Every structure is written in C-alpha cells, then in structure tokens.
Amino acid sequence: MSTTTVSRAASAGLTGGVLWALFPAVASVAHLDDAKFGTLAFVAVAASYWIFAVLPPVLLVVGLGGLRRTLGGDAGRVAVAGVVLSRVGLVAMALGMGIELASMSAGGGEVSMGYVLFLVGWLVLVVGGVLLGIHLVRRRADRLSRAAGLLLALALPVGIGITVLGSAVAPSADAWFWAANVVPTGIAWVLLGASLRPHRRPATFAPAS
C-alpha cells in the first residue's frame, strides 16, 4: 500500500467520522416517517440517511485499511484483533442500516433483522475499539492518535453517559440513541484520520512497556 493509498484511506476514515458524528443532528430534524412516500422531501430525507448512516461505516472500513498499514510490524495480536473485530462490526452495522433503509426507502417498515444486525455489529465494534484503542494509547506517540485511541477504548461508557443525558433531556428523541452508538467512534476517527494524513509528520512509536 503506497503513501498515496494510505492518505486516501485516512481521508476516507476522517470523512466517515465526520458524517457519523453529524448523523444524530440529521436524525433530530428529519425522519422518513415524517415525509410522505414518493415526495421530494421523502427522497431528500432518505438520501440523507444513506449518506450519514450507511456510508460512514463503509468509509471507516477503508480507513482501517490505512491504519493497519501504518501499524506495520508493530501491530501485535491485540491490535490485529482490534482491526479485524472493528471491520466485522462496521460491516454488520452498515448492512443492518442498509437493510432498514432499503425497506423504508421502498415504502415499507422497519426490519427487525436489520436492527438486530446493527446492534450486534455495534457490540463487536465496541470490543474491537477497546483492543485497538489500548494499542494506540500505549504505542503511538502523537497526541491525535492517543486521543482517538482513548475515545475508542471508552466508547461504551461514553455512549452510556450520552444515553443517560438524553433520557434526562429528551427521552423520546431518537437522536440520543444514535448519538450514543456512533458519535464516540465518529469523533475518534476524525482524530485518527487527521493523524494519518501525509501532511503531518509520521508518528513515532513509544517504547513497548
């Protein structure tokens, strides 16, 4: 994988992180149930969900490829397992959301299989994020990577905190559910994608403890 390819992968990961972090805001102002099927408004809302909900995990899978390349031989079993589990989780989440949106975009209702697949994928992603995050915190020297690793490792408690806050502020708003599931990972990838871009000085590795 060339430097250019790594750069593109990093940009994909950063873009996916931005889109995912913004998805709760999109969900708070637009929902397919609020638009009449077949109208221009319905098409616009459906397109926004495909862009902000399904596309981001696909872009993050691409970003993981660039991250795996930069880790090189330094990637031990923990980091490799984190990358693999994160990929599996992201693919499952993309498929789950894709199934749901494909049904709703065609005028149908929500699909339980898609919802279950999304949640299972999220759980796998959380485990992968913990493993990958620990590696980044321990072995990367640049601040962006370490901050991203910390956020990945703490995605579950951060998500729980967002859920508790949402229950107190607006318990009926779906946006809080999405924020708990995607915002921690999205922000982490904004930081991580920026750290992998070529205009930054290549990150060095801290000595293994």
- Single-letter amino acid code for the residue at 159: G
The dihedrals phi and psi of 140, each to the nearest 5 degrees, come to -95, 140
Identify the pLDDT of residue 203.
45
* Distance (Å, whole) CA 106 – CA 126: 31
| Dihedral angle, C-alpha 118, 122, 123, 125, nearest 10 ° | 140
Which residues are registered as beta bridge partners of 205? 140
The 8-class DSSP code of residue 107 comes to T
Q: Alpha-carbon distance 98 to 113, whole Å?
A: 11
Q: Say how far apart CA 182 and CA 57 lie, in whole Å.
A: 9
Residue 191 one-letter amino acid: L
φ/ψ of residue 35, rounded to 5: -115, 145
Return the pLDDT at 204: 45
**Confidence (pLDDT) at 161:** 93
Q: Residue 208: what pLDDT? A: 47
Give 110's DSSP letter. Answer: -
pLDDT in tens, the chain (209 residues): 457 778 889 999 999 999 999 999 998 887 877 788 888 988 999 999 999 999 999 999 999 998 988 887 777 888 999 999 999 999 999 999 999 999 988 888 888 899 999 999 999 999 999 999 999 998 888 899 999 999 999 999 999 999 898 888 877 677 888 899 999 999 999 999 998 876 444 444 455 44
Three-state DSSP state, 205: strand
Listed in order, strand segments (DSSP E) in the chain are none
